[in-house]
A and B are shown apart, each in its own frame.
Chain A
């Protein structure tokens, strides 16, 4: 069985009077078990060329609904370095394509998803590079 871990470290020496040092590690497992996840999309790096949701091309599909069994873990990073150059992640399954997250330059996110919605991304600037990966159990 594969072992996959995700470690978060948040640190600051001047946000609080005392040093902030927060670290947590989780082992990625299949739903409701201690069995490790088995599949991944691998690490992707792509250019987003669409500046609006719902247009015909240029958006990036990060995850397709029900591609993985719950819980798929999504990692995303905006590789742009200019402040204000944002990536917008929206739910392409629900009515109205609601916006879920916006990542400014250098922002990243790690999200254990429900897995039943398709996530797509567009950007404020064309092109904007994104890095992403989904880890879970394929079905």
Chain B
């Protein structure tokens, strides 16, 4: 079993007392606290303005021998926009539902249900060409037949 931890620290002087929130979790397979996620898809890609792309494909064709292997599992997704122009941003959607907007320098970390073949994680750049880093931690997924 692999042990992968994901931690967030939020720090701010917004309030009279400094905010310092820290959370950490070990990325586990669905329904267990003893077996960690052991697979990763990782990439860096340029997204040009205008088109909508599937950044991560839920891809659970019913005809596949491993259909549904990602569905309703404990998948985790990290996406960061490494653009440096503060006006550049990308929209993140799941099955055409807007779930996030990443301006230059922003990142997100979310659980991804991938509940059916339509639940792809989609990305659209709205300004410029955005350099996107992403990682999917999962316990197995299907590949497109060649």
Task: Give the docked Cα–Cα distance between A10 and B59 (Å).
Answer: 25
Pick the contact of B94: A20, A33, A100 (CB < 8 A).
A100
Task: Give the docked Cα–Cα distance between A106 and B32 (Å).
Answer: 11
Render B125-146 as a binary contact track against A, CB cut-off 8 A, 1 for contact. Answer: 0000000010100000000000
* Size bin of chain A's contact surface: 35 or more
Evaluate contact between B25 and A108: CB separation under 8 angstroms: yes
Does A139 touch B at the CB level, under 8 Å? no
What's the nearest-Cβ distance from chain A to residue B75, in Å?
Answer: 10
Render A1-40 as a binary contact track against B, CB cut-off 8 A, 1 for contact. Answer: 0111111111111111000101010111101111001111
Evaluate contact between B4 and A11: CB separation under 8 angstroms: yes
Task: Give the docked Cα–Cα distance between A31 and B86 (Å).
Answer: 8
What are the residues of chain B within 8 A of A33 when measuring CB–CB?
86
What are the residues of chain B within 8 A of A16 when measuring CB–CB?
40
Pick the interface stretch among B14-22, B45-53, B60-68.
B14-22
Task: Give the docked Cα–Cα distance between A102 and B68 (Å).
Answer: 17
Evaluate contact between B25 and A111: CB separation under 8 angstroms: no
| Other contacts beyond A4-B13, A71-B106, A111-B108: 17, CB < 8 A | A9-B6, A10-B5, A12-B2, A15-B38, A24-B107, A31-B103, A39-B14, A83-B28, A83-B33, A103-B111, A104-B28, A105-B33, A106-B33, A114-B101, A117-B98, A131-B23, A135-B10
- Write the residues of chain B forming the contact surface with A, with a CB cutoff of 8 angstroms: 2-15, 19, 21, 23, 25-26, 28, 30-33, 38, 40, 74, 76, 78, 80, 86-87, 89, 91, 94-95, 97-103, 105-111, 113, 115, 133, 135
Nearest 5 CB-CB pairings of A with B = A4-B12, A12-B4, A15-B2, A2-B14, A108-B23
